[in-house]
Structure 1
């Protein structure tokens, strides 16, 4: 089964010979190697590139252990460049190499070499690393399969595909299993033996109990406002633990750098500023999230919100959670401040969208609840409500666009409807 990942492939093709190191990063098992070593490799061959001009090294392979030495790797790559033709150098999981930044900067000095690398933690793209690259890195961020990519592979009924997708997520290898038991077993083992093992090894964490419990807390509260202090209070009341908010903040960063979770900052829409209080945490892959809690708590409204967040990130948007403050008169005639939530404030260059996720809007009362925050935003940017129902897009009397989930997910230009 071939899974088309045209968005990422096109980014690689467009970046050819741009003088930069092409850095492909994302979570473990999301398809980075397949993208470079199969899809991009085959594309190069289809354009007439000779096989000998494609130099690939899988640095996670035990057979290539010696090449994890920086000088040995550099010498090996140079030995493979046997002609003046352009050579494509593809290094998989390059963070396994000591001093890999020096190696990559050295490869940039080879005039007939075009360099592509993958890495599986976001520290690989941190400010310090980017500085060491001297601004000569071109980043391509890969996510687990979008619903469009998933559905293009499985086909069939959209409703059935959606149920499987929001249950088992979008890691490509999921598609190779036939039973739900196999899928669940794969996801649970993957998190414990790969994701968690990477974090424990990298950060030298000896007591992993609190880290594991933190992941479970986040998995049980996707879409809920949270911060380290609030989570510390949860630990204290439920787990009788004295873990500090500083330690939790550190663990949250580790999980983010391992691409387990993403953080959406809170943005004051009217004040046009970020609020350093409660944020939201979403899972990069919902299959991993569901496996962590043994596939309990399948609240479709929260899962749908996570899927929408991930889809917006895949499309290259900066996604925050919004807050709109209004004044409301109480029953006794007094004024009070009320904070309304906007699920997503979505930005890309000069574009902005305000988006609400709603499982259903069965009546006028529910419509009022879901759109109240949007109505109280006084700028002219587009306001959208995405519902689970299979409906034709329509606009209410306030000009707010209401569209179905499938229309949003399966049309990459859906926000322009």
Structure 2
């Protein structure tokens, strides 16, 4: 399919059988350039991970026609990255597309409208198809979970027991905002060891379902040193896993909903603004804790997340041990600044 643009553009979808066959059969630079069209300057290949040796084929195009820009996309980022990493070293730039950000909804509508729909975003998340089909959010999220979490993810590493992944994701969904123990997760799932739990969690991170927040420790003896928390890239996925679409004010886990939303949205903001920060949570063995830390140029920025506006006292042990710090409490009344919106 050819699209009009500022320069000659051609778009291929490797889910199409004939396109997949054509790219699979093309093995030389001459064949590949003939396939994409010698006059093309921008080539887009969707679902590129379907094509065998796609990394080598892209390298051949680049090395022989560096004037052609190629954009390779794929819903299975783990497969795409693994197939392109080595052949395209030094020849590629990787972009990660997150679900729609809160800041993008502000630009698309208005600040007032985006805030008015905040509770809906906390429950149904921000996947494009969810946003574009109001009234069908549950059905769409269920389909996303079944077709991606329980299909594509399971195929990435030929997982033999899908029930283990399902139980693991549900356990993580119920533990958002809490420290995670591999040993406890293994016991919860049953008939699985901690090494396999770690392997599955790594797989789910690479598939961009969840991401990890490590514990910060530097000075204090009683700081948690190997702790970790896991969050979901999208609140809607988290809620479909626990089958709970009740709105926040009626829920006991609204604090976890709020925390997952803020940290995932901050991740998007940092990525889109090219803010290279180290991110953590902080906790000591005597239960002093801070929800979220960012470290930038030697300064620690400490954040507490609260559903309602209230006074918060940051732990004295943290403030004294790390004098180069700034603190803030993020609530529903002031969260836009934290999200760069």
Structure 1 Cα separation of the partners of residues 50 and 277 of structure 2: 30
Q: Is the 8 A contact 1:265 1:320 kept in 2?
A: yes
Match among 90, 111, 118 for residue 135 of structure 1: 90
Q: Runs of 4+ in structure 1 displaced over 4 angstroms?
A: 124-129, 348-352, 370-374
Structure 1 Cα separation of the partners of residues 59 and 131 of structure 2: 38
Q: Is the 8 A contact 1:311 1:409 kept in 2?
A: yes
Alpha-carbon spacing, 1:81–1:358, altered in 2? closer, same or farther (3 Å):
same
Establish whether residue 383 from structure 1 lines up as the match of residue 332 from structure 2.
no
Match among 42, 60, 67 for residue 112 of structure 1: 67
Structure 1 Cα separation of the partners of residues 256 and 184 of structure 2: 20
Establish whether residue 249 from structure 1 lines up as the match of residue 198 from structure 2.
yes
Structure 2 Cα separation of the partners of residues 361 and 192 of structure 1: 38
Residue 305 of structure 1 aligns with which residue? 259
Alpha-carbon spacing, 1:127–1:268, altered in 2? closer, same or farther (3 Å):
farther
Residue 148 of structure 1 aligns with which residue? 103
Structure 1 Cα separation of the partners of residues 97 and 86 of structure 2: 22
Gap runs ≥5 in structure 1: 1-36, 236-240, 326-336, 391-403, 412-417
Establish whether residue 219 from structure 1 lines up as the match of residue 173 from structure 2.
yes
1:8-407 correspondence to structure 2 within 5 Å: 45=5, 48-49=6-7, 53-69=8-24, 71=26, 75-83=31-39, 87-109=41-63, 110-124=65-79, 130-155=85-110, 157-179=113-135, 182-235=136-189, 241-270=190-219, 277-295=226-244, 298=251, 299-314=253-268, 315-316=270-271, 317-323=276-282, 325=284, 338-347=286-295, 352-363=300-311, 367-368=312-313, 370=314, 372=316, 375-388=319-332, 390=333, 404-407=334-337
Q: Give TM-score scaled by structure 2 length.
A: 0.84
Structure 2 Cα separation of the partners of residues 374 and 271 of structure 1: 9
Q: Is the 8 A contact 2:183 2:194 kept in 1?
A: yes
Structure 2 Cα separation of the partners of residues 69 and 271 of structure 1: 57
Q: Give TM-score scaled by structure 1 length.
A: 0.69
Q: Is the 8 A contact 1:324 1:373 kept in 2?
A: no
Alpha-carbon spacing, 1:70–1:144, altered in 2? closer, same or farther (3 Å):
farther
Q: Report deviation, 1:166.
A: 0.8
Q: Report deviation, 1:270.
A: 2.6
Structure 2 Cα separation of the partners of residues 323 and 224 of structure 1: 12
Q: Report deviation, 1:385.
A: 2.0
Alpha-carbon spacing, 1:129–1:178, altered in 2? closer, same or farther (3 Å):
closer
Q: Is the 8 A contact 1:121 1:257 kept in 2?
A: no
User: Cα RMSD between the aligned structures?
Assistant: 3.1
Instruction: Give CA-to-partner distance per residue, 1:28-80, whole Å, 9 cap, x none.
Output: xxxxxxxxx99xx77xx3xx32xxx2121111334533145162696354344
Gap runs ≥5 in structure 2: none
SS across alignment from 1:69 = helix
Structure 2 Cα separation of the partners of residues 125 and 318 of structure 1: 26
Q: Is the 8 A contact 1:89 1:113 kept in 2?
A: yes
Structure 2 Cα separation of the partners of residues 355 and 183 of structure 1: 31
Q: Is the 8 A contact 1:386 1:408 kept in 2?
A: yes
SS across alignment from 1:277 = coil
Q: Is the 8 A contact 1:66 1:72 kept in 2?
A: no
SS across alignment from 1:141 = coil
Instruction: Give CA-to-partner distance per residue, 1:78-125, whole Å, 9 cap, x none.
Output: 344334xx7112111211111111111111111321122113345357
In proportion to residue count, which structure has more strand? 1
Structure 1 Cα separation of the partners of residues 101 and 158 of structure 2: 33
Structure 2 Cα separation of the partners of residues 347 and 73 of structure 1: 48
Structure 2 Cα separation of the partners of residues 233 and 186 of structure 1: 32
Structure 1 Cα separation of the partners of residues 195 and 204 of structure 2: 14
Q: Is the 8 A contact 1:269 1:323 kept in 2?
A: no
SS across alignment from 1:112 = coil
Q: Is the 8 A contact 1:59 1:67 kept in 2?
A: no
